[in-house]
Amino acid sequence: MHLLVCGGTGCNASKSQEIAENLKSTLTDKGLGNEVQVILTGCFGFCEKGPIVKIMPDNTFYTEVKPEDVADIIEEHVIKGRKVTRLLYTDPENKQHVADSKHMGFYKKQLRIALRNCGFIDPQNIEEYVGADGYSALAKCLGEMTPEQVINEIKLSGLRGRGGGGFPTGLKWEIASKNHADQKYVVCNADEGDPGAFMDRSILEGDPHSVLEAMTINGYAIGATKGLIYIRAEYPLAINRLLTAIGQAREYGLLGKDILGSGFEFDIELRYGAGAFVCGEETALIHSMEGQRGEPTFKPPFPAQSGYNKKPTNVNNVETYANIPIIINKGANWFNKIGTEKSKGTKVFALAGQINNVGLIEVPMGITLREIIYEIGGGIKGGREFKAAQTGGPSGGCLTSAHLDTPIDYDNLIAAGSMMGSGGMVVMDETSCMVAIAKFYLEFTVEESCGKCTPCRVGNKRLHEILEKITKGNGTMEDLDNLRNLSRVIKDTALCGLGQTSPNPVISTIENFYDEYVEHIKDKKCRAGVCKSLMQYVIDPVQCVGCTACARNCPVNAIQGEKKMTHVINTELCIKCGACIEKCKFNAISIC
C-alpha cells in the first residue's frame, strides 16, 4: 500500500510535510513501516481542498487533511480497511462523498483532444501514430466521403480557428474549395510568436503526423495537391520531427501520388520563417513564403481567393489542424457537444507567470478562469493574491478578478476586452505593475511592427513613449486621454491584425486598472514596486545602527552618515540599484 501526500507548494504551506512525517512515524510505531510507504508527490492541482492524501491502490482521495487526522487514516483505513468518510471529497453538486478519485469532477477539468497523442506516442515513429488510430480519418475521407461531405462535417463541428481570430474553419475551407484554379495550396501556420506561447511547438514536437494527416484531408476537401508548413526557424526540434514525419509518411505511401489507392495526390514541404511576429498574419506569411518582405496586404482579396503564388490558399493554425482527424473519426456531432454554444471543442493554453503549475493544459471551452488558475494551475505562487491574467499576447488584454467566473470562449473574452489569441495565458499577482505590463507589450509591438502603415509604425511608438513617461513619474492626467484616443485611432486605421489589436493591452489595463495609472501619475507611486523611477530607498533611523556597510557599498556615494550615527540616502544621487538593501544586516532600508 502507498500513501501519497501532496508536496506541492500550496499543500506544503498547509503542513503536508508534517502530515507525511506523522504518517511515517505512526506507521513505524505500528510496525507497518515496511509494508506501507509514504510518498511525497507533486501538486495534484487541487490546492483549494489541500492538503491532499491519496491512498493507493484503492484511489481513495482525502482532502483538507490535518496533521491530527493521521491517526484516523492509519487506524481506520490502513489497518481496518474502512474509509475515513469525513475526509473524503464531497461532490459540490450532489453533496455525496466521492471515494474513488476517478469519479471526481475535478479530473474532468482537462480534456485532451488536440494534445491526445502528446506524451503518449513516439513522435518519430509513424507506426505508433497509426496504432493510435492515425491516418484512419484520412482513409475515411478518401474512401467514404466526398470533399463536400468533409467540408460539411467540419462546418457542422463548429470548429473555429485556434490561431486567435476564431474564424469558422469549415467556412474557410468552403470558400477555398469554391475558388477554381489549376493549383491550390494548403498552408499550416506554425509561426507561433506570442510571448509565452508554445502550444503549436508542443503539438509539432509531440504529434507531427496529426498535422500532416489533417493537411492532407484539407487538400482533399478543397482540391489542393500541395501543402506548405510555415514554421519559424527557432523551432529546430519541431522542424526536425516534421521532416522525419514527412519522410515516413512518403515512405508509407501516405503522402505522394495515389494515397491509399484513391488516386488522390498530396505532398507537404516546409518553409522557414525568420521569426518576425507579423508573419503570423496570413497575408504577410504568404508574402514571406514567396520570398518577399513579410508585410501584410489589404484583405480582400483573401488568401482563399488569391494567396500563395496568386492561387487560392487555405491557411490554418497547427492546433486547428490537430483537431481535424478526431472530428472526422468521431463525427461532428461528438465534437460540437463539447464547449459552449458558439465555441466548440477545447483550447490548449500555455499557462505561465506567477502560477504554481506552469504548463501546457487543454480545457473544454466554457471553463472559468478560476478553474484554470486554482484547480489546474495550482493557484498563485507563494499564496499571493491573483491580480490579472493576460491572454492573447500582444493583441490581447487582461482579465481581472471580476472575470474569474466568466466562461472562457472566443466571444466572452472579446467582451471582456481581451481575446483568445493563440493560447498564451500569463498569470499575474500583486507583484506585477499593470502600467509596466502594458509598456512591455507595446515594446514588443513597436519592435515587431513591419512599418508598412503609419498608425502601427508611428502610433504604437507614441503609445510606448507615453507609457514610458508615466512609468518614469512624469505623466499627466492628459496623457491618459491621449492614450485612449490614440489607441482608438490605431485600432480603426491600422492595416492588419497586428496593428488593429496592438493597443489592446493599453486599453484593457486602463479600463481595469485605472487607479494604478492614476497612482503613477498623481502620487508618483508604483504599488507593485516595479517602476524603478518611482521607488525611493529610505533608511529607518530607528533600525539603523550606523555600521556604514551601506555607505561603503553604494556605487554612487549617495549615502551619508557618521559611524554609529543614522545614515541618510540622497535620493537625487540614488540610482536604485538595491546594493544597500542587500548589505544592510539590520533591515533598516526599505523601498517606498
Partner 1 sequence: MTKIKSLADLKAMKQSIQEKIDTRAKGNAEGLVQVKVAMATCGIAAGAKQVMDYMMAETDKRGMNVVFTQTGCMGYCHAEPTIEVTLSGKEPIVFGFVDLKKADEIIDKYIKDGELVDGIIPVNYETINK
The answer for 573, left when phi > 0, alpha when psi is -120 to 50, beta otherwise, is alpha
Task: Indicate the SS3 state at residue 359.
Answer: strand
Q: What is the 3-state secondary structure (H, E, C) of 331-349?
A: CHHHHCCCECCCCECEEEE
Question: Per rule CB under 8 A, is residue 115 in the interface with partner 1?
Answer: yes
CA 189-169-127 angle, to 5 degrees, is 65
Whether residue 206 contacts residue 118, with contact meaning beta carbons closer than 8 Å, is answered with yes
Pairing of β 313-317 and β 185-190: parallel
Which of 122-130, 176-184, 508-516, 575-583 is the region at the interface with partner 1 (rule: CB under 8 A)? 122-130
- CA distances from residue 548 to 539, 563, 585, 591 in whole angstroms, order as listed: 12, 6, 11, 19
Residues with Cβ within 8 Å of 38's Cβ and at least 6 positions away in sequence, in order, are 2, 3, 5, 20, 23, 24, 27
DSSP at 188 = E
Of the residues 32, 88, 260, 581, which one makes contact with partner 1 according to CB under 8 A = 260
Question: Per rule CB under 8 A, is residue 231 in the interface with partner 1?
Answer: no
Which of 106-114, 154-162, 266-274, 568-576 is the region at the interface with partner 1 (rule: CB under 8 A)? 106-114
**Smallest distance, partner 1 to C-beta of residue 430, A:** 21
Which of 159-167, 175-183, 234-242, 517-525 is the region at the interface with partner 1 (rule: CB under 8 A)? 234-242
**Smallest distance, partner 1 to C-beta of residue 234, A:** 10
Site string for partner 1, 128-147 (x = CB under 8 A): x-xxxx-xx--x---x----
- What pairs with residue 187 in β-bridges? 228, 315
| Residues between 173 and 212 that touch partner 1 (CB under 8 A) | 198, 201-203, 205-207
Whether residue 413 contacts residue 183, with contact meaning beta carbons closer than 8 Å, is answered with no
Torsion angle of the four alpha carbons 494, 497, 503, 505, in this order, in degrees rounded to the nearest 10: 180
C-alpha cell at 77: 483505513
Of the residues 118, 268, 373, 486, which one makes contact with partner 1 according to CB under 8 A = 118
Whether residue 63 contacts residue 376, with contact meaning beta carbons closer than 8 Å, is answered with no
Of the residues 84, 98, 286, 376, which one makes contact with partner 1 according to CB under 8 A = 376
- With cell 493537411, the residue in question is 215
Question: Per rule CB under 8 A, is residue 326 in the interface with partner 1?
Answer: yes
With respect to partner 1, which residue has the nearer C-beta, 360 or 550? 360
| Residues between 17 and 46 that touch partner 1 (CB under 8 A) | 37, 39-46
Question: Per rule CB under 8 A, is residue 106 in the interface with partner 1?
Answer: yes
DSSP at 266 = B
Site string for partner 1, 268-307 (x = CB under 8 A): ----------------------------------------
**Smallest distance, partner 1 to C-beta of residue 60, A:** 14
Nearest to 267 by CA among 320, 329, 219: 219
**Smallest distance, partner 1 to C-beta of residue 260, A:** 6
Question: Per rule CB under 8 A, is residue 384 in the interface with partner 1?
Answer: no
Residues with Cβ within 8 Å of 247's Cβ and at least 6 positions away in sequence, in order, are none
Site string for partner 1, 486-515 (x = CB under 8 A): ------------------------------
Question: Per rule CB under 8 A, is residue 318 in the interface with partner 1?
Answer: no
Of the residues 105, 247, 261, 451, which one makes contact with partner 1 according to CB under 8 A = 261
CA 572, 578, 579, 580 dihedral sign is positive
Of the residues 15, 24, 109, 576, which one makes contact with partner 1 according to CB under 8 A = 109
**Smallest distance, partner 1 to C-beta of residue 485, A:** 40
Of the residues 107, 515, 571, 575, which one makes contact with partner 1 according to CB under 8 A = 107
With respect to partner 1, which residue has the nearer C-beta, 261 or 451? 261
Instruction: Count the site residues for partner 1 by CB under 8 A.
Output: 69
Greatest C-alpha distance within the chain: 92
Could you list the residues that contact partner 1 (CB under 8 A)? 2, 4, 6-7, 37, 39-46, 54, 56, 106-113, 115-124, 127-128, 130-133, 135-136, 139, 143, 198, 201-203, 205-207, 235, 237-238, 251-254, 260-261, 326, 330, 356-362, 376
